């Protein structure tokens, strides 16, 4: 036995498991708690097998890395050990005969066909091994497997349900012709027609392709064509407060020009995006007001930024959609499956649109980039990454503009900043002090002289607008060019330029601080990833968060845990867009760098993109795809087959 197996916290384990799991613990790829759980379960079973137990530990650990379980294959996507900056190494798994070992383990229930059938009710084994004939086996916890099966069944029921209330299709067609004309509107017309006669509609596309525009028209058609005796109840939501605010703004954009009855415009103007946690009324103890036994009181539910939604939350969502005897409310999901997936378990949107899932007829993909018409280089870069044309993508990143772009330096590789972190920081903070930058706006509005006066709403609005114009996005959290260090530099620079004191509250906020919420707080309706700005407010400090109509004010002393937010990781930026983005890659290889991460970063920029780092590192990142273990497409296909056969 090696020395690692006798370190504190491992001596109580069975010797076989302690030795097998030692390298994984040392590498930080699993935790002592995960190993202890499996060790306890194995002791209770009375049968010990170190190989089976190690696989179970890794199945538990996989969920922390976003996977639904452990795929039984020699290479594990998340098992990367950074031995040096130049040579990342992997820990592998000996899979020779492992399936047979797991099949014999008392900890594991075997699902030989990998279907959505129920197990025997008395079978409470903590792990499930799916061994479908056409795919590699997957070992998952019983909980994750159950959530996947339940989500698959519920989606299948929606996919085969008749939507209620039914729309007057003839009247709806006339409204479609009126509201969605033009050649580029054909996919949007298809999406609206689909939603009229189906309970489940999925609208996908890159930034600026008109996803929320399409849904706005869809809602207008449903409202205009609804039976006169039925008021259509609509709920709109997104994973984060920021994304919900953006959804509200997008759905209200241009409604005064819509050629619809005034009552329809009023109904659209009254829509307010909410976080999914708020929509479902999820409580701090994990319970929720709405679910299968208490469905949401809505006829149409629209959810944006679905790529950010994890498996457990989407299961709650679909379970709360009203459904009864083959009918259901309408669920409209919006998102970009090429973005980074949720930081938690699953790749839900990518799973739903996977051709193997059996939901293809419910998916409409929008491809024409309306929003980027004035920024064609960014649009072309995004399309090249999405389509895998990597040479073209690197041309754009090297500063070669797209044909017809009026701004030849829209995308700038900041090579003149060099690799010295101090030089990079000097370049990064410069836009904050230019016209429209946050530091300059705070200085021009003389916030240093407003310490005791109530915060002026117009000045707050100008400050929040400046905050959203520019954002620094980092590939990594830690290190001299990670988001943590860069955010501290931004905080110091803004305070200095705006002449604001760096005196902090008990929670660590100070005037001019950009705060990034790090823990959900349902009481305040704040979510992990929400960004606000701390400003003087009547002798106190208040944090202001954009929420569509007017900023939400929260006393800084009441904020949930937060960190400086002047720079953030690319993961945290999902659901947001900024006029100007600085993307900091650096020159360090790492498992986080992937095509999805680069795509997500560059598509946060509306008008201008600067990036800092090594071109070769970026090129290799574009070749690397996120390889999460996925089992939901296969389960969806099975559930859809069963639902359709029952409907027939």
Helix count (H) and strand count (E) of the chain? 23, 25
Using pLDDT thresholds of 50, 70 and 90, give the confidence band for residue 351.
very high
Query: Could you tell me the two tokens for 83?
Result: 């031995």
- Give domain 387-623's CATH superfamily: P-loop containing nucleotide triphosphate hydrolases (3.40.50.300)
Query: What is the model's pLDDT at position 80?
Result: 60
Q: Over range 511-540, report the average pLDDT.
A: 86
Better-predicted residue by pLDDT, 297 or 505: 297
Q: Which two tokens stand for residue 372?
A: 């980027």
More confident residue, 624 or 12: 624
> Would the pLDDT of 5 be above 70?
no
Please check whether residue 464 is in contact with residue 470, taking contact to mean a CB–CB distance below 8 angstroms.
no
**Domain 154-371+635-647 CATH superfamily:** P-loop containing nucleotide triphosphate hydrolases (3.40.50.300)
Structure tokens at 355: 């051709």
Q: Are 280 and 290 in contact (CB under 8 A)?
A: yes
pLDDT score at 409: 86
| Gap between the Cα atoms of 234 and 215, Å rounded | 12
106: its two tokens: 């008392």
Note the maximum CA span of the chain: 78
Residue 97 DSSP code: T
- pLDDT of 315-335, one tens digit each? 999 999 999 888 999 999 999
Residue 84 clears pLDDT 70, i.e. is over it = no
Give 169-206 pLDDT, tens digit per residue: 888 998 998 888 776 678 889 999 999 999 999 999 98
Give the chain's length.
648
Q: Is the pLDDT of residue 311 over 90?
A: yes
Output the pLDDT for position 269.
Answer: 92
pLDDT of residue 91: 74
pLDDT tens digit string along 106-140? 999 998 876 777 776 777 899 999 988 878 899 99
Find residue 544's DSSP bridge partners: 533, 553
Q: Is 543 helix (H, G, I), strand (E, B) or coil?
A: strand
In the predicted model, what is the mean pLDDT of residues 275-298? 90
pLDDT of residue 549 exceeding 50, the answer is: yes
Rg of the chain (C-alpha set): 26
**What is the pLDDT averaged over residues 10-27?**
80
Q: Mean pLDDT lowest for which of 41-50, 233-242, 288-297, 544-553?
A: 544-553
Q: Please, where in the chain does CATH 3.40.50.300 lie?
A: 154-371+635-647, 387-623
In whole angstroms, what separates CA 505 from the centre of its chain?
A: 31
- pLDDT above 70 covers what percent of the chain? 91
Q: Tell which residue, 585, 619, 624, 625, has the closest CA to residue 391.
A: 619
The pLDDT of residue 87 is 40
User: Can you state the angle between helices 262-269 and 241-252, rounded to 10 degrees?
Assistant: 160
Rounded average pLDDT over 439-447? 92
SS (H, E, C) 500-523: CCCCCCCCCCCCCCEEEECCCECC
- Cα angle at 77 between 356 and 336, to 5 degrees? 50
Instruction: For residue 9, name the pLDDT band (cuts at 50, 70, 90).
Output: low
- For residue 300, list its beta bridge partners: 234, 330
Mean pLDDT score, 513-518: 91
Phi, psi of 170 (to 5 degrees): -65, -45
Q: Given the structure tokens 């639904």, which residue do they identify?
A: 68
449 has a pLDDT exceeding 60: yes
Instruction: Provide the pLDDT for residue 444.
Output: 92
Higher pLDDT, 580 or 529: 580
CA atoms lying within 13 Å on the CB side of residue 530: 33
Cα(331)–Cα(122) distance, integer angstroms = 35
Residue range 598-626, pLDDT digits in tens: 999 999 999 999 999 889 999 999 998 87
- DSSP H/E element including 139: strand 138-141
Strands 75-82 and 88-92: antiparallel
Mean per-residue pLDDT of the chain: 87
CB 622 within 8 A of CB 598: yes
- Phi then psi for residue 52, to 5 deg, are -65, -40
Which band of pLDDT confidence, cut at 50, 70 and 90, is reported for residue 356? very high
Quickly tell me which residue has 């293809």 as its tokens. 360
Residue 38: its pLDDT value, please? 95
């Amino acid at each position: 036995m090696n020395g690692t197996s006798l370190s504190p916290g491992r001596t109580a384990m069975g010797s076989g498991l302690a030795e097998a799991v030692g390298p994984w613990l040392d590498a930080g790829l699993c935790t002592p708690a995960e190993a202890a759980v499996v060790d306890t379960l194995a002791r209770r079973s009375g049968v010990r097998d170190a190989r089976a137990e190690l696989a179970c530990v890794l199945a538990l650990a996989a969920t922390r890395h976003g996977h639904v379980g452990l795929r039984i294959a020699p290479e594990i996507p998340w098992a990367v050990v950074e031995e040096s900056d130049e040579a990342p190494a992997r820990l592998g798994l000996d899979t020779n005969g492992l399936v047979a070992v797991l099949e014999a383990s008392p900890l594991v229930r075997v699902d030989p066909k990998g279907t959505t059938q129920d197990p025997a009710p008395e079978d409470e084994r903590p792990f499930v091994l799916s061994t479908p004939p056409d795919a590699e086996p997957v070992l998952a916890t019983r909980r994750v497997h159950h959530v996947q099966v339940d989500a698959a069944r519920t989606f299948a029921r929606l996919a085969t349900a008749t939507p209620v209330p039914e729309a007057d299709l003839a009247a709806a067609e006339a409204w479609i012709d009126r509201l969605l004309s033009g050649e580029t509107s054909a996919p949007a017309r298809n999406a609206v027609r689909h939603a009229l006669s189906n309970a489940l509609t999925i609208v996908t596309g890159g930034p600026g392709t008109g996803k929320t525009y399409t849904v706005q028209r869809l809602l207008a058609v449903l409202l205009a064509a609804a039976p006169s005796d039925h008021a259509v109840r609509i709920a709109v939501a997104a994973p984060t407060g920021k994304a919900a605010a953006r959804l509200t703004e997008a759905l209200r954009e241009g409604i005064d020009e819509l050629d619809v009855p005034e009552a329809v415009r009023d109904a659209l103007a009254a829509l307010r995006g909410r976080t999914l946690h708020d929509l479902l009324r999820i409580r701090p103890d994990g319970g929720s007001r709405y679910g299968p036994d208490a469905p949401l009181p809505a006829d149409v539910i629209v959810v944006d930024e679905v790529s950010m939604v994890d498996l457990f939350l989407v299961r709650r969502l679909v379970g709360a959609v009203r459904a009864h005897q083959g009918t259901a409310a309408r669920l409209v999901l919006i998102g970009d499956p090429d973005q980074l997936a949720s930081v938690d378990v699953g790749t839900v949107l990518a799973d739903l649109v996977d051709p193997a899932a059996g939901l293809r007829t419910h998916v409409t993909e929008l491809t024409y980039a309306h929003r980027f018409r004035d920024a064609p280089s960014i649009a072309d870069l995004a399309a090249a990454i999405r389509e895998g044309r990597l040479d073209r993508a690197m041309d754009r990143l090297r500063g070669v503009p797209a044909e017809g772009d009026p701004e030849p330096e829209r995308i700038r590789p900041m090579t003149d900043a060099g690799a010295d972190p101090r030089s990079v920081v000097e370049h990064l903070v410069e836009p904050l002090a230019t016209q429209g930058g946050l530091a300059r706006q705070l200085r021009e509005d003389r916030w240093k002289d407003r310490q005791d006066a109530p915060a002026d709403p117009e000045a707050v609005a100008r400050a929040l607008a400046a905050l959203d114009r520019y954002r620094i996005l980092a590939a990594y959290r830690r290190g001299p060019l990670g988001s943590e260090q860069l955010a501290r530099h931004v905080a110091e620079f803004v305070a200095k330029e705006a002449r604001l004191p760096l005196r902090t509250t008990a929670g660590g906020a100070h005037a001019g601080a950009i705060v990034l919420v790090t823990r959900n707080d349902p009481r305040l309706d704040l979510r992990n990833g929400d960004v606000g700005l701390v400003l003087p407010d009547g002798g106190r400090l208040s944090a202001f968060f954009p929420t569509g109509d007017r900023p939400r004010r929260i006393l800084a002393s009441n904020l949930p845990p937060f960190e400086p937010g002047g720079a953030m990781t690319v993961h945290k930026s999902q659901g947001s867009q900024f006029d100007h983005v600085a993307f900091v890659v650096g020159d360090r290889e790492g498992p986080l760098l992937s095509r999805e991460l680069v795509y997500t970063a560059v598509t946060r920029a509306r008008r201008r993109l600067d990036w800092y780092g090594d071109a070769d590192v970026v090129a290799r990142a574009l070749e690397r795809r996120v390889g999460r273990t996925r089992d939901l497409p296969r389960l969806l296909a099975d559930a859809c087959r069963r639902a359709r056969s029952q409907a027939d």
